[in-house]
Structure 1
Amino acid sequence: MGNRVATASPVNAEGISCVLRDQGDQRVVGCLHSQKGGKVVNQDSAVIYQSYGATDGVLCGVFDGHGKNGHLVSRFVKERLPLLLLEEKNAVGDAGILTDESSLESQATSDDDLSSDRTLHDWELPCTNAFEKMDEEIKDAKFDCSFSGTTAVVVLKQGNELVIANLGDSRAILGTIHENEVIPVQLTTDLKPGTPDEAIRIQRSNGRVFALKEEPDMKRAWLPSVYSPGMAMSRAFGDLVMKNYGIISTPVVTHHNISSDDLFIVVATDGIWDVLSNEDVTAVVMAAETEEMAAKAVVDAAAAAWKTNFPRDKSDDCTAICFFLQNNNPSQAPASS
């Protein structure tokens, strides 16, 4: 699993921060912060693993629980999914994925393209298999997951490659330099019931997709004949009843080749993105006093935005991970040290 990990399953904690430092020079390479919203427990969990799968490998993951036992599901997935991913990667192996080397090479137009194709191919099937097995294990958990579950966004860094496995409506973005500005690039698609392809799948499975009058902009997933459970995401772990009506645990797996302009990634639960734009979050990270304070700065900004924008509503739990990609170049660091 690697010998460096920062983890959070805060449950009742008002706020918790963890910092991951390089094993050699102790510079900050990543940080996470989680804060409870207006509910009884914080249902978010998060983890950063260093030396994951390789000496230079990293795993960042956030898990946003929902339903009565959502906090139990997110904590269970946080603990188990990183292990399953490595088990599936080792079980499948490169030979099991790249069955037609010549075909892959013929499709690539450069060494970078070939490397990108290899990395995505190496991890896509293991990610899909691991997510499927994770959902099966949840069925045997000691807590009821009939109407409880969690979203997941996992970002794997292997050398200069990123592989992103996304399940639900949490999000990952990249902060990158473009024309002397640091801009966000969204690495995931928010998988919600209102997304056309997601809605079609749910409706074909006899689930319903519609918005309530009091929240006309929020389409949710419902059982065929009752106003329940009203899920705001279209893919999740758990939610066993809704698995019969179009909610799935298959991740969308994508890839990004890291360039020298890419400074950091932010992986965060939807409590952040409901009130802050990608541009807002990028600006907060850039303005953070130190690298180790960046994740807390993002969560604090979201908490303030919840109070301003929705003063009568309970704020959502907010969790963010910031991982820095260019720490060996202080002039390109996302925050002063």
Structure 2
Amino acid sequence: MKLVNIHQSIRSQSDNRRQTSREQTNTDQKYKLPQLMDKQISQKIFKKPPLQSKSKKILNSKISKLEIQLYYGSLSKAGFDGFCEKTNQDREFAEIIDDEQGVFAVMDGHGTDGDKISTFVRDYFLQYVMKDFKTIDFIKLFANAHSNVSSHSHFDSLMSGTTATLIVIRDQIINCAWVGDSRAMLCTKQQDKLITSELSIDHKPHLLKEKKRIESQGGFVNTYKLQNGQSIGPSRVYIKGASFPGLAMSRSIGDQIAEQVGVSHIPDIKQHQITKDDLFIIIGSDGLWEFLDNNQIAEMTYHYFLNNDPQGACQKLIQESKIQWKKFSEGVDDITVIVVFLQNSNI
């Protein structure tokens, strides 16, 4: 397909899908989702376990089972450009099924309609996982969310989209499925030392696997160039010979133009069997991780883990992240974090 026709072709396909949507009177009912309150700042906490509560092993004749006690905090803050607060395009949800099982997700929208798309995907994911918690098909979930976003008549996903990082804890296994760069991290304590391990790997265009896919489908990976030729910022996805779309991630939901040159909605999936040494999980949009490394975030969170205060951990992490943003940048990105404690610290 000629360069000049790519944008027109995708726009035509999108318009056709929208026309079909208007002609089918039952479409809105088919994709009707639960109404969740959108908030610039959201705070949730499940429960704070009693100080005398202790995790313990329960033994039977065949297996040794850990008693997991989930509790969490979450917080989302809008960023600002210069002196003006911007629209928060981050979304999140956290739901406890029982003490040992729950679902948690962070979405970070981008583009003109990024906030609408991240809201739609949040609601779609939550409806799906609560309905099919025991039998979630992650590939199908992401594919359906992407398809619905691409055909939706109320927002434009040609150059708008969202990340999505979903954590499902069930049967003592952490399942992580993700697209984009909203990171999930596990913190474990071994021999009095905190160990961090990434449950997700940021989908960046410069990664060899991602770059090969993009280039094989006609895309081009490069950094943004100033007029003097100087490169600035992260690697981005472009159409060869064009200055768009310039997406700074290699996988997302939405982003129809970038999809034509190798940006994928197919998630990576990782599983982790929970052990007695696992302490907590942190899920955050890229605004959290931009100027704080994994170890710094783990150390800050651990102090709140000792006091059984996940909400306090969220507040501290966003506070420190904002301080770093103001040191090194003229603006501040939206920052969203969910902290999930896997056990009571009094063990």
Q: 1:36 aligns with which of 71, 75, 78?
A: 78
Q: 1:271 aligns with which of 254, 267, 287?
A: 287
Q: Contact conserved, 1:8 with 1:34, CA < 8 A, in 2?
A: no
Aligned AA for 2:184?
A
Aligned residue for 1:159? 171
3-state DSSP class of the match of 1:303? Answer: helix
Tell me whether 1:245 sits opposite 2:289 in the alignment.
no
Tell me whether 1:81 sits opposite 2:105 in the alignment.
no
Sort the Cα spacing of 1:187 and 1:44 in 2 relative to 1 into closer, same or farther, 3 A: same
Q: Contact conserved, 2:204 with 2:250, CA < 8 A, in 1?
A: yes
Sort the Cα spacing of 1:259 and 1:184 in 2 relative to 1 into closer, same or farther, 3 A: same
Alpha-carbon distance, 1:217 to partner:
5.6
3-state DSSP class of the match of 1:314? Answer: coil
Tell me whether 1:127 sits opposite 2:146 in the alignment.
no
The count of aligned residue pairs is: 284
Task: Map residues 207-222 of structure 1 onto 2, 5 A cutoff.
Answer: 207-213=219-225, 214-216=230-232, 218-222=234-238
Task: Map residues 67-78 of structure 1 onto 2, 5 A cutoff.
Answer: 67-78=111-122
Normalising by structure 2, we get a TM-score of 0.76
Q: What are structure 1's unaligned runs of at least 5 residues?
A: 1-6, 94-122, 332-337
Q: Contact conserved, 2:43 with 2:76, CA < 8 A, in 1?
A: yes
Alpha-carbon distance, 1:83 to partner:
2.4
Q: Contact conserved, 2:205 with 2:211, CA < 8 A, in 1?
A: yes
Alpha-carbon distance, 1:28 to partner:
8.0
Q: Matches of 1:59 and 1:136 in 2, distance apart?
A: 22
Aligned AA for 2:87?
V
Sort the Cα spacing of 1:55 and 1:296 in 2 relative to 1 into closer, same or farther, 3 A: closer
Q: Matches of 2:37 and 2:176 in 1, distance apart?
A: 20
Alpha-carbon distance, 1:260 to partner:
0.8
Aligned residue for 1:113? none
Sort the Cα spacing of 1:172 and 1:215 in 2 relative to 1 into closer, same or farther, 3 A: farther
Q: Matches of 2:71 and 2:231 in 1, distance apart?
A: 40
Alpha-carbon distance, 1:320 to partner:
0.4
Highest Rg: 1 or 2?
2
Aligned residue for 2:323? 304
Q: Matches of 1:28 and 1:300 in 2, distance apart?
A: 24
* Percent pairwise identity: 26
Aligned residue for 1:287? 303
Task: Map residues 222-261 of structure 1 onto 2, 5 A cutoff.
Answer: 222-261=238-277
3-state DSSP class of the match of 2:243? Answer: coil
Compare 206-215 and 296-305 and name the one that shifted more. 206-215
Q: Deviations over 1:288-324 (max 9, x none)?
A: 36332111211111111101122xx211111000001
Sort the Cα spacing of 1:246 and 1:323 in 2 relative to 1 into closer, same or farther, 3 A: same
Q: Contact conserved, 2:245 with 2:257, CA < 8 A, in 1?
A: no
Alpha-carbon distance, 1:240 to partner:
1.2
Q: Contact conserved, 1:88 with 1:130, CA < 8 A, in 2?
A: no
Indicate the RMSD between aligned Cα atoms, in angstroms: 2.4
Q: Deviations over 1:210-265 (max 9, x none)?
A: 01245446110012332112111100001112111101100001100111110100
Aligned AA for 1:80?
Y
Q: Matches of 2:325 and 2:331 in 1, distance apart?
A: 8
Alpha-carbon distance, 1:200 to partner:
0.8
Normalising by structure 1, we get a TM-score of 0.78
Aligned residue for 2:30? none
Aligned residue for 1:185? 197
Q: Contact conserved, 1:88 with 1:129, CA < 8 A, in 2?
A: no
Q: Matches of 1:8 and 1:154 in 2, distance apart?
A: 20
Alpha-carbon distance, 1:266 to partner:
0.1
3-state DSSP class of the match of 2:256? Answer: coil
Tell me whether 1:50 sits opposite 2:69 in the alignment.
no
Q: Contact conserved, 1:16 with 1:34, CA < 8 A, in 2?
A: yes
Q: Contact conserved, 1:8 with 1:16, CA < 8 A, in 2?
A: no
